[in-house]
Structure formats: C-alpha cells, structure tokens
Amino acid sequence: MNLQIGSHIRSIRLIRGYPQKYMANCLGISIPAYCKLEKKEGSISIEYLVKIAEILEVSRNFIVEFDEEKLFASFDQESKLLSEKTTP
C-alpha cells in the first residue's frame, strides 16, 4: 500500500476541518491510534481506508492518489475563472 496514504489522509482531514478526535471517534479508536494512522507508524487496513473515505466524503482512490499541488492548482484555476466572469 502507498506509504503516503497517512499524510494524504491528514491533508484531506485538515482541508475538511475535522479534528483528529472526530476522526478517532468515528472510527471507534483512540486518538493515539488514529495519530499512528496519519504518521504511517501502522499499516492502514482496507477496512479503515473505506471508513476514512466515507468520513471524509471522498473515494478511496482520491485518498491514494491525492496530490495537494494539483488540488490547489485546480482551486486557483476555478477562482480565476470566477473572477473573470464577475469582472465587467
């Protein structure tokens, strides 16, 4: 499994504005156990990946293939298009 999944989950969680406590509660695990998932100290099972994807409202593939630079580049592109449409 991709070694960066934990950091991808962390980035998506932060974008969503969810605290680690919320994620841990939803998964039914302790906060330290959840922290280990994000820090890659433990392997992430498919079961947890599915649950995490549901909590974050994204697909499993989105987590695995997450690219923060591409995400923010697309936001920048959308912002530019919106500002062009609203500028007379």
Number of domains the chain is built from: 1
How many CA within 13 A on the CB side of residue 66?
A: 22
Q: Is the pTM of this model over 0.95?
A: no
Query: Could you tell me the residue range of the domain that residue 19 belongs to?
Result: 5-86
- Residue 77: CATH number of its domain: 1.10.260.40
Q: What is the pLDDT of residue 8?
A: 92
Alpha helices per DSSP H over 1-88: 5-16, 20-27, 31-39, 46-56, 60-64, 68-86
Residues 33-54 have pLDDT tens digits of: 999 999 875 578 899 999 999 9
Q: What is the pLDDT of residue 21?
A: 98
d(CA 63, CA 69): 14
How many CA within 13 A on the CB side of residue 74?
A: 5
Residue (of 32, 33, 70, 37) closest to 56 by Cα position: 37
d(CA 43, CA 37): 7
Q: What is the pLDDT of residue 67?
A: 83
